[in-house]
Chains A and B, each alone.
Chain A
């Protein structure tokens, strides 16, 4: 099969060259718009009925059971109230939305309202590229700053130079709240002769007792890498306190991850692994599997977010309980938490006033009731939510959310700290849990990422 003729490569090379020319169509991203100007409050129309025929294109990620029911119902109600407005909804799963939203926003005809994830790769980047409209004037007109606690609004703020978030202009509103707490198996606690712990000390003291009885104290699956952020965050919130953690995550870089309290939190987590307070093979167990095993009666506690209640309840029924992470005695409760993705108005929205009116509608008190009916935790619990009995896990979650809001006890997700922090902390946490890193090495790894980001900006 020897072929001595030289293959004719010229036409192919020509095609490649042509394609290269096509590709080199200019600097990527050069077509993006400049920073949009905010409207003054007096020029805002709060009545969409006067806006004429408007099609509102909305991209959200509320695709799971109760969330889908909630947004579908609210959209229908909004259109019934304002027949001149048509909502064109595009629903995508969280990760699909995350990867496609950027492209959609950089196009010439972006959606009017989008659900943007908080954090550097998403909301901060969008603001930097001038793709979102600041909503502060609308907040004034609609009284959003009275509706929401400041700590929740702050999560959706981006600084004027778009270098960090947690302060600055407001770019969105979130419908729902979420916090990481401790689920417990009521039957198991009772059979072990234990009460749901009231303080952090009680909780920590329960772990060896449960272990001694041959039970797994805490179910924990960390193959997916992110769950340990919550596990560690909860511990760190107790050892370091809410202010210190907030200062670390949103701060200007003066705080340090190597401070003794954070080292203590890391030591505690590693110690729990060594003592066997988690089931064995934490790093090799899937988050979903650990939750499933907990729901089927394995382990006494499960430390995770309010979103998991809907998964656990069908199996566990009334034996499922949930509490805000109990604080060290004499202190206010504090735990990792936040809010759902923020509904934001794009800078090319056809009618920003209608878009803002829509966001107002899906976050008001009535919307809170709809969210409660559909099994969600509204960021601002309505009277309906507060009326749920605390014998039910939903009632306990609403109660916990109220306690945290009253105590201003929510601390942000730790991966908000820098654009690359998610990678750094998830990998480092797996190493800490696996015994590959000492608590000191762990905190030094975090600090290195942190100081690189803050010295660079």
Chain B
């Protein structure tokens, strides 16, 4: 403790005139820039957002990286294992299947929604549909529903006496009916199709927006040259939509790989482990079996996978820039 008088001690006066050398240098550097160029003050403007981002995303992420280097049950003192968790992850047979499932699910979460979205967008731009807004809203609806609602709806559809089997019975295909979510081979595609249903609306809206910015003259010219619907689509719509497809791919791949809620709510990874996915394993290990370090390591691995896949996908689709 310093003397109690310190509060009333006179503050040293600071000369105002010459700015500190460092600041002067910065000023000179930015003064040279023409208007519209980035200025240091810009960082001040984004500071609140960056602070929130750092506190809620960067810090927890770094914490996860840190935890993943320990063998920790979440309670007692952790033991440092370095890259041990990552090493055992590479050899853990119970993790291979979940990662494989996640990649399979990408067909349903990314590929199918994009294909359906393209088809719908191409059709809706070519054919004049009455009440286009209505259809757009209806097709986009799954995207705004809470995942819990979607999961419950699909539980109902896939139940042994559910909608799907009932309809199959009506059309004389009762022999095909089964407990879809309980079937070892079909549970994964069944859950995947729920993801397709959720995802295609977003893709469609993205592509519709993109298609509207294609100059109409291009289509007219193509038609004069005698192009059919398919040729028009291949030669004009598809190349013009490349950036939108890249965005859609990024979003759907991220959604597909981090897919947790749908699995958790419909199958909990079953039957057997046939629908287990990495995101579910992260939750499961961290919260249910007290392997916080290992769970964190799986989470980091999943993050890396998401990064790599989205990067590769968008590069491939969009082509090299500049």
Residues on A facing B (Cβ under 8 Å): 2-4, 8, 11-12, 15-16, 18-20, 22-24, 27-30, 32, 98-99, 102, 105-106, 120-121, 125-126, 128-131, 222-225, 279-286, 289, 419-420, 422-423, 426-428, 430-431, 433-434, 436
Q: How many interface residues does chain B have, given as a range? A: 35 or more
- Cross-chain contact B272 with A431 (CB below 8 angstroms): yes
Residue of B nearest to A120 (CB): B290
Contact A23 B75, CB 8 Å, known A281-B178, A281-B182, A427-B273: no
- Cross-chain contact A102 with B74 (CB below 8 angstroms): yes
Contact A284 B75, CB 8 Å, known A4-B322, A419-B290: no
Query: What separation, in Å, do the CA atoms of A130 and B32 have in the docked complex?
Result: 64
The digit string for B33-70, where 1 denotes a CB below 8 A from any CB of A, is 00000100001000000100010001101110111001
- What residues on B are CB-neighbors of A12 within 8 Å? 50
- What residues on B are CB-neighbors of A431 within 8 Å? 184, 271-272
- Cross-chain contact B58 with A225 (CB below 8 angstroms): no
Q: Which listed residue, B50, B59, B159, touches A286 by the CB 8 Å rule?
A: B159
- What residues on A are CB-neighbors of B289 within 8 Å? 121, 419-420, 422-423
Interface residue SS majority, chain A = helix
- Cross-chain contact B62 with A427 (CB below 8 angstroms): no
- Cross-chain contact B78 with A27 (CB below 8 angstroms): yes
Q: Beyond the given A128-B73, A282-B182, A284-B178, could you list 12 further A-B residue pairs with CB under 8 A, ordered by the A residue number?
A: A2-B322, A19-B54, A20-B62, A28-B70, A28-B292, A30-B77, A106-B74, A106-B75, A289-B159, A419-B290, A428-B272, A430-B272
Residue of A nearest to B80 (CB): A27
- Cross-chain contact A129 with B58 (CB below 8 angstroms): no
Q: Which listed residue, B75, B269, B270, touches A102 by the CB 8 Å rule?
A: B75
Total A-B pairs in contact (CB under 8 Å)?
151
Q: At the interface, yes or no: B180 with Cβ under 8 Å from chain A?
A: yes
Query: What separation, in Å, do the CA atoms of A436 and B272 have in the docked complex?
Result: 9
Query: What separation, in Å, do the CA atoms of A426 and B274 have in the docked complex?
Result: 12
- Cross-chain contact A430 with B270 (CB below 8 angstroms): yes
Q: At the interface, yes or no: B267 with Cβ under 8 Å from chain A?
A: yes
The 8 lowest CB-CB distance pairs between A and B, nearest first, are A284-B179, A284-B182, A281-B179, A283-B182, A281-B160, A129-B75, A23-B62, A129-B76
Q: At the interface, yes or no: B288 with Cβ under 8 Å from chain A?
A: yes
Query: What separation, in Å, do the CA atoms of A19 and B58 have in the docked complex?
Result: 6
Contact A28 B179, CB 8 Å, known A23-B59, A125-B290, A286-B155: no
- What residues on B are CB-neighbors of A106 within 8 Å? 74-75
